[in-house]
Amino acid sequence: MIMYDFPELAVYATDRFVLVCMALFVEAVVGRAQWVFRILPHPVAMFRACAGFLDRRLNRSRRGPRALVVRGAIVTAVLCIAGGLVGGSLEVWTATFPAGWVIDLAVVSLTVSQRGGYGDASRTVRALTRDGVAAAREQVARYHKGRPSALDAHGVSRALSEHLAAEFGRWLVAPVLWYLLLGLPALLIYVAIVAAAERLGGDEAARAGFGWTAVRLEKFAGWIPGRIAGMLVVLACFLAPTARPIRAFRIMWRKAAALPSASFGWPAAAFAGALSIELGGANSAEGRPMPWFGDGTARMTARDAHRALLLFGYACVVHASILAVLAAVRVATV
């Protein structure tokens, strides 16, 4: 009703920077709203389900390597086109009525992950400290793409740290950036690319065959956001106790380029340097063998896991604060 009584407020509500700030606040308060998605499908889950269905139907090992690459490229293109069409249709539809900005707000808040990623990691820490490694592995299995059953206490702490870095780069900075640049079509295309990379590139053979296109598109889509995410982690080190910003920048600059995904590699390398830990290895949370990166210890403790949670929280605050300043500047100039 407020927007209808005071239509000039809609000018501010439809600004993408303002909408992103509102979406980050909603997600920080509500989280993933899992009770809703027991009834309704989550947008990200829908893309993952579609990618998984097409993978089962079309990824046939008897096909030659070239045929698998072509088939995977077609599947990836179909998912991206679907994401772009849905996003474009929503933008056209929401432009027809004053409260259409609510749709943008809902889609962005469902796509980003702050409280969701923090909740995953904090539940893992609680399980590790209260109930032991077996209970912690059950929590890690929710997001670990490798073999969580093979993790010891140190591996559990490393996995949740890698998960936090991946959430920050892949599911916070990247979707926000693509939405700010090109709106809902770019946001949903990005979601489709990441879903395709996860489902079609599950192992080394798939990444060289059926998932070849999706994996490379995911690298491209995360190239700029990953670097921004890494720098935001470095800035957060100035707020987080015991974090080391100079070491975070040095490790990030030296090691991030060698990691398979920019949206994961740059913030993860910054995490490793900031906390003086080693991440990666044969059983990483990304589900693929990685070189060890960092200049500290791989034998992370629960205290190190708490430090990773704190750094993630400060990085989210820095990210939101910068966006709030940009939104305020834009509103002031309207």
DSSP state of 203: S
Instruction: Name the residue type at position 217.
Output: L
61 vs 232: which has the higher pLDDT: 232
Residue 292, classed as helix, strand or coil, is strand
Per-residue pLDDT, 36:
65
Across residues 229-238, what is the average pLDDT? 98
Listing DSSP states for 95-147 in one string gives TTSGGGHHHHHHHHHHH--SHHHHHHHHHHHHHHHHH-HHHHHHHHTTT-SS-
Burial 272-289 (b: 16+ CB within 10 A, else e): bbbbbbbbbbebbbbebe
For residue 135, what are the contacts with CB-CB under 8 A and spacing of at least 6? 127, 128
- Minimum mean pLDDT range among 30-44, 70-84, 124-138, 206-220: 30-44
Query: Which residue from 232, 231, 314, 245 is spatially nearest to 275, judged by alpha carbons?
Result: 245
Which pair of tokens denotes residue 72? 């995977």
User: Number of structural domains, the chain?
Assistant: 1
Average pLDDT for 17-37: 86
Residues 197 and 217 sit within 8 Å (Cβ to Cβ): yes
Under 8 Å CB-to-CB from 305, ≥6 apart: which residues? Answer: 121, 124, 125, 128, 156, 157, 160, 161
Can you give the pLDDT at residue 37? Answer: 67
- CB–CB of 161/293 below 8 Å? no
What DSSP string describes 216-261? HHHHHHTHHHHHHHHHHHHHHTTTSTT--HHHHHHHHHHHGGGSS-
Q: Per-residue confidence at 2, pLDDT binned at 50, 70, 90?
A: very low
Q: What is the pLDDT of residues 260-311, one digit of tens each?
A: 889 999 999 999 999 999 999 999 999 888 999 998 899 999 999 999 999 9
Across 13-17, 19-23, 101-105, which has the greatest mean pLDDT? 19-23
Residue 160 structural domain: 2-333
| pTM of the full structure | 0.93
Give residue 255's pLDDT: 93
Given this model, what pLDDT does residue 34 score? 67
pLDDT at 3 over 60: no
